[in-house]
Amino acid sequence: REISPQARVTIYLLVTGSVFLLLSIMFGAPYYYYKYGRSDTKASISKNPNYELYTPDQWEIDKDSVTLNKLIGQGHFGQVYQGVIKLSDGTLKQCAVKIRTTHPTDLLQEASIMKQFQCYHVIQLYGICSRIRPPYVVMELMDNGDLKNYLYRHRQSELNPNGPTLTESGMIQLALDVADGMYYLSDQKFVHRDLAARNCLVNGNHTCKVGVFHNYYFIQ
């Protein structure tokens, strides 16, 4: 059966429209994503609360109340100094001062997390100097450093036969200290995500506390 001229025109228009629509989808979708999708992605990233500007609050202290003495630690996440802080009542207290010259906002975010914790086996925050560059984060001093090096120093060996050693009960107590700190954090719905001996600190009384909060998240 011969197709009428009107039918031929209709078929031609349908085929041409379909091809045009297909080409529009093939070439238009990538262009739309490039122009609009990328900007939406950037907007959603900028809203991440970890990158919000820090606002000083009741934890803010004056730089003149903090004295830096000597460097006691240095690494990827900044430098730590042994220092002294003058409290509001005029008394002086030994402290540790953490400073980070690169990405200081990361350090301030870590300090903001520490404000929420009140547990004997979690490192305690004393104050923040956020109005200076680089900012200071002042916390309790842990004289014996991180747990990893503490355990190395107390490991008996042929090279150090008369060095200090840990008893079995002493090692168990260190484990209990960390367990208590982590139990508190989990009760606060806080996930540390980087619990390791290098991120636990030991004070002058050989008490171990959980610290270094840079890779965390909260469970809602």
Query: What CA–CA distance (Å, rounded) separates 95 from 142?
Result: 8
Please count the CA atoms within 13 angstroms of the CA of 58 that sit on its side-chain side: 2
Say what the pLDDT of residue 213 is.
Answer: 84
Q: Is 106 a catalytic residue?
A: no
CA 169 to chain centre: 32
Residue (of 72, 67, 68, 99) closest to 86 by Cα position:
67
Structure tokens at 88: 């509001």
User: pLDDT by residue (tens digit) across 127-150?
Assistant: 999 999 999 999 999 999 999 999
Alpha-helical runs (H) found in 5-154: 5-32, 38-46, 104-114, 147-153
Say what the pLDDT of residue 46 is.
Answer: 38
- Local confidence band at 50 (pLDDT 50, 70, 90 cut-offs): very low
Mean pLDDT taken over the chain: 82
Q: 187: part of which helix (H) or strand (E)?
A: helix 168-187
Residue 201, beta-bridge partner list = 146, 209
Q: Which residue has the tokens 């903001």?
A: 112
Strand spans (E) along 144-203: 190-191, 200-202
- Local confidence band at 33 (pLDDT 50, 70, 90 cut-offs): low
Of 70-79, 171-180, 205-214, give the range with the top mean pLDDT. Answer: 171-180
Residue 136, beta-bridge partner list = 99, 129
Residues above pLDDT 90, as percent of the chain: 52
Of 31-40, 110-119, 209-218, give the range with the top mean pLDDT. Answer: 110-119
